Structure 1
Amino acid sequence: MDSELVLELRRQEQQRGTGALTVGDGAFHLVEGAIVAAECRRATGLDRMAMTAGLTDAEGWRRARAAAAVIRTMTGRKSKGLFLYLALDRGRANLAMARHRLEGIEEDLEV
């Protein structure tokens, strides 16, 4: 990923930007600074983009995917069409509030 793009994504994260950041033939969709979707005909996958940007590492991504599978099993949800990955700053994040906000997003989403 281009270093200018990484800097812009980090700036959007700090400013809690919402909207679409168009890049080439694709776009990053942001909500309050978080990447909620990415689209590109040539993209190799969101996992690689997140790792290249330094948002997670391979083990963190694997754990998140495993947790999503467990949650789908526990809730009885069969859909595999949407996967949200939330990266929190350990020193600043409020896990309970993050869960609460994600539940609100989940209720409002239509896939």
Structure 2
Amino acid sequence: MRGIIYFILFILVCTLSILFFAQNDQDVVLSYFIGQLDTPLAFIIVGSLLVGYFIGVISLTGRLFKLRVKLKQAQHKLGQKTKEVENLRSLPIKDDY
């Protein structure tokens, strides 16, 4: 069922992309430091989105790595505490009343 939903979403995104490219086919002059480039507006918009996406992924990679290290430390501590509780449960109970 999930595969069908993903397939329908894929077809929808492809259709919307084709419509987007068809409506934004005029050329735009992109001026940068070294020169300029005549390219369709749709390519500039998609390129800008991709560059922004990759900058976001790169900026989150350090945070993700830090969280993974923190998770490993927490799992290690949990393992130690679990062993400690199991050892305490195996000790006989002594009543000194």
TM-score, L = length of structure 1: 0.23
Which one scores higher on RCO, CA 8 angstroms, separation ≥ 6? 1
TM-score, L = length of structure 2: 0.25
Structure ID, larger Rg? 2
Structure (1 or 2) with the greater helix fraction = 2
